[in-house]
Amino acid sequence: MSGARISSISAGSPAADRGLAEGDELITINGREPTDIIEYQQLIDGAVVTLVVRRPGEILSRKVTVTKGEGEPLGLGIDSAVFDRIRTCDNHCSFCFIYQLPKGMRRSLYVKDDDFRLSFLYGNFTTLTRFTEFDLERVVDEGLSPLYVSIHSTNPALRAEMLRNPRGATSLRWLRELLRAGVVVHGQVVVCPGVNDGEELERTLTDVLTLYPDLRSLALVPVGVSKFNLEHSMRPHSSLEASNVLALVERFQAMGQAVLGRKLIYASDEFYLIAGAKTPAVTHYDSLEEVENGVGLVAAFRESFAQRRPMDKLGSGFFQSVDGAPALGYRAPRVRERTSLHPGQVTILTGEYAAPLLRRLLDDYGFDDAQVLAVPNTYFGGNIKVAGLMTGRDLEEALSSVPLSHSCLIPDVCLSEGRFLDGVSLDDLSRPITPVVTTGVDLRRALERSRVAVSV
């Protein structure tokens, strides 16, 4: 990281016309060197903000004072969430998806972080193996909540083995301290068949109810195994194994309801799809705060489509770019521009998991004229079938079977700043496709606009 650099200046903002320019580096704010966007937001909150900035290629810095209303935004966009150095992960988890990425993808995708700041800002999961007393003090003092913690197992020996880090055996002590301090924490267990499932998973869920009952939620997600996986112990779940996980979750949900008054523990939608089981309705969930981790996503999407209601703002996902994060919102935009629909039939291209669910949803609400095309993920292979990991190359292959008269829609969840994971951009595709915000109501509006275009 090279410090806080200005990526944009809003016209008419307090910082406009102060001689600042895109690319300028913020050396200090009110005499302090901010290390991340969290400190930046705190430092610019007052009525008078004194900046020391340095222009690229220049040695000398200069001082700029901005006067504004208390709490008013400064009007600067910052190009990164972390200004000092991302705290990288020193675990070597056997199930880590980053180790299963092919070569040649954009550099930010290979960054393994274990930074509590990115957990707060993006919803990235941290194992707490690099967490310190100082970090705890900062989290509590600054109210950095919620945080997202990877548990995987409460068996110290197994957790250390899975993380391939001896600190994995003891780092959950920080989870206890965070909960004791009133920090909201969402947990996650990546369930690996034959490793931390069965009796080990039962032990973990028992410990969660007894040792960490103040967790806001615990999501169980199946391990993703791409064709680039080199770990022989990692394999996809069978349908029976997924069913066993669901049965265990149901049993512990009943315990949680009886003891805590809430279910607490949930399986991601993928487990239901692998098991061939029906995904639950929205009413099944205490909350949908881990919806982007796949917990209740199908239910929330269906409700949004049926009731024409916006879905709650999604958190962050695994492949959100850190290096392009703006100062406000903390997420890189999915797309910069949207292609308008032209009159004609519509084909929706999506992942193999989502396609049959989407087909049933469209049929249920009278959109049976829209086509749904499942896009096989040959780029990653294995059991990777979610829409968020679709790539431009696989879409290009799938587009060859779509009539040229059709408008093509894709969920924008597979994009970051207009690019797919394999680096292909929307402009690189052989024909126009329209990204649609990945909510039910946005898809419905797109389909309705297409019908209006046809009638006109």
pLDDT tens-digit series, residues 67-89: 999 989 899 988 888 888 888 89
Residues 189, 286: one domain? yes
Which residues are registered as beta bridge partners of 5?
Answer: 25
Both 118 and 71 in a single domain?
A: no
The residue to which tokens 């990526």 are assigned: 7
pLDDT per residue as tens digits for the range 363-372? 999 999 999 9
pLDDT tens across 319-335, in order?
A: 343 333 443 334 455 55
Residue 55 CB contacts under 8 Å (≥ 6 apart), including other chains: 21, 23, 24, 25
Residue 318 lies in a domain: no
- Quick: pLDDT tens for 96-111: 999 998 887 877 788 8
How far apart CA 117 and CA 37 sit, in angstroms, is 9
Kindly state the tokens that stand for 62: 């200069």
In a domain, 330, yes or no: no
For 258, residues 6+ apart whose C-beta sits below 8 A from its C-beta are: none
Strands 76-78 and 4-9: antiparallel
Last residue of a domain, one of 78, 112, 130: 78
Is pLDDT above 80 for 191? Answer: yes
Is 320 contained in some domain? no
383 alpha carbon, distance to own chain's centre: 19
Domain of residue 58: give its range: 4-78
| Count of domains observed in the chain | 3
Token duo for residue 433: 């496709």
451 and 379 in one domain? yes
Helix (H, G, I), strand (E, B) or coil at 254: helix
Last-in-domain residue among 255, 279, 307:
307
Residue 62 has pLDDT above 80, yes or no: yes
Q: What is the DSSP letter of 328?
A: T
Q: What's CA 103's distance to the chain center, in Å?
A: 22
Smallest CA-to-CA distance from 128 within 92, 158, 170, 94 is with 170
Final residue before a domain boundary, out of 45, 78, 111: 78
For 159-183, the pLDDT digits (tens) are 999 999 999 999 999 999 999 999 9
Residue 410 lies inside a defined structural domain of this protein: yes
Q: What is the pLDDT of residue 341?
A: 61
Q: How confident is the model at residue 213 (pLDDT cuts 50, 70, 90)?
A: very high
Residues 67 and 155 in one domain: no
Task: Specify whether 169 is located in the same domain as 118.
Answer: yes
The verdict on residue 195 lying in a domain is yes
Length of the chain: 456
My answer on whether 113 and 245 are in the same domain is: yes
Q: Each residue of 363-404: pLDDT tens digit?
A: 999 999 999 999 999 999 999 999 999 999 999 999 999 999
Q: According to the model, what pLDDT value does residue 332 have? A: 52
Instruction: For residues 53 and 172, state if they share a domain.
Output: no
Is residue 276 domain-shared with residue 387, that is, in the same domain?
no
Yes or no: say if 208 and 218 are a contact pair by the CB < 8 Å rule.
yes
As a whole number of angstroms, the longest Cα–Cα distance in the chain is 66
20-49 per-residue burial string, b: 16 or more CB within 10 A, e: under 16: beeebbbbbbeeeebbbbbbbeebbeeeeb
Write phi, then psi, for 380 (nearest 5 degrees): -95, -35
What is the value of pTM for the model shown? Answer: 0.89
Instruction: Mark whether 113 and 44 lie in a shared domain.
Output: no
Which pair of structure tokens corresponds to residue 196?
């931390």
Burial of 74 (0-12, 13-18, 19+ CB in 10 A): buried
For residues 435 and 408, the answer to whether their CB atoms sit within 8 Å is no
Contact, 223 vs 188, CB < 8 A? no
Is 83 part of any domain? no
Domain of 183: which CATH number?
3.80.30.10
Residue-wise pLDDT for 215-242, tens only, equals 999 999 999 999 999 999 999 999 999 9
Q: Is residue 184 included in any domain, yes or no? A: yes
Claim to verify: residue 239 and residue 357 sit in the same structural domain: no
119, 57: one domain: no
Task: Specify whether 123 is located in the same domain as 229.
Answer: yes
Q: Has residue 91 been placed in a domain? A: no
Average pLDDT, the chain: 89
